[in-house]
Structures are given as C-alpha cells and as structure tokens.
Amino acid sequence: MKGGRGFFILLLGVWSILFILSIGLGEEEFLKRGRSEGIPFLSGGVGIRERELLNEMGKGYSLKMVFSNKRGEYLTDIVVRVLDSREKVILTTVSNGPWLFIDLPEGVYALEASFMANRKKIGGVEIKRGAQKVISFQWE
C-alpha cells in the first residue's frame, strides 16, 4: 500500500512540473520575433507573464508600441507600418499582442497602426540612441 501511494505522489509531482512547463512554453511560443529590411522586432504580451517576459526581452529595443481601446483593454492583431523620413515603408508586420518592440536606428519616423480597418498615423517620432521611445495607440 505504501509503495502505491509513493508512486502516485511521484507521478502527481512529475505531472505538475510538466504542466507548469507547458504553460510557460505556450506563452513563449506566442511571442513573435522577426526582422524586416534588417530591422528586428518582437511582439506579444497576451497575459501578465508574457508581458513580464517581453519587458525584459524588449529593454534593448529603441521603440515600444502599445495598442489598446479607450477602456484600457489591450488589443492584438494590429497591422503596423514604419515609414522613414522619405515616407518609404521600411517595416510592415502584424503584432501578435498589445506590445510591439522595434529596434530602429536613430532617426525620425512615421508610425501607422491599423485595427479593424481603422488606421492611425503618428509622424515625427524621433528615435534617439540609448533611449526607448514609447508610443501608444488607442481606438474606440
């Protein structure tokens, strides 16, 4: 009887560890990493754990974009375009979550974000070396 109970407890412990690891892996798999025209980006942020992870990973990126509605609820699947000072599109992506980090070189850019066919644009975004610029987009 004691051997059966010990085996059950061991099996329960192993199952618990595997379950916890699978949750962590699932969150990391949702993060989207990419590169467009040599510019790296990282998006995600669905859930508190993923935002904590993204905050750490995104520290070295020069731009952080945040997407929400007016009630403060985060949005995802945002189409983003970055334009250089000549209005040439240098990056296009779809954000996997409410946070998008882009490592842009120093310069002035225009940012476009579209949510459900509602496009917003912010021009004159100055990116400086050694600092992270945070830009928020909100929709109704």
- In a domain, residue 3? The reply is no
CA distance 19 to 64: 32
E-strand ranges in 7-130 read 32-36, 39-44, 63-69, 78-83, 89-95, 99-102, 107-115, 118-127
- In a domain, residue 13? The reply is no
Q: What is the pLDDT along the chain (140 residues), one digit of tens a residue?
A: 456 676 666 555 555 454 444 444 444 457 889 998 899 999 999 888 889 999 999 999 999 999 999 999 999 999 999 999 999 999 999 999 999 999 999 999 999 999 998 999 999 999 999 999 999 999 98
Residue whose pair of structure tokens reads 């618990």 in the numeric block: 16
In the chain, which residue ranges form alpha helices assigned H by DSSP?
2-30, 48-57
φ, ψ dihedrals at 120, nearest 5°: -125, 150
- In a domain, residue 43? The reply is yes
Residue 31 three-state SS: coil
Domains in the chain, number = 1
Going by C-beta distance under 8 Å and a sequence separation of 6 or more, which residues neighbour residue 66?
Answer: 74, 98, 99, 134, 135, 136, 137
- In a domain, residue 65? The reply is yes
- In a domain, residue 74? The reply is yes
Output the domain CATH number for residue 71.
2.60.40.1120
The pLDDT assigned to 15 comes to 55
CA distance 108 to 88: 12
Residue-by-residue DSSP string for 1-18: -HHHHHHHHHHHHHHHHH
- In a domain, residue 21? The reply is no
Structural domain of residue 81, as residue ranges? 31-139
CA 60 from chain centre, in angstroms, equals 14
- In a domain, residue 17? The reply is no
The pLDDT assigned to 3 comes to 60
CA distance 138 to 140: 7
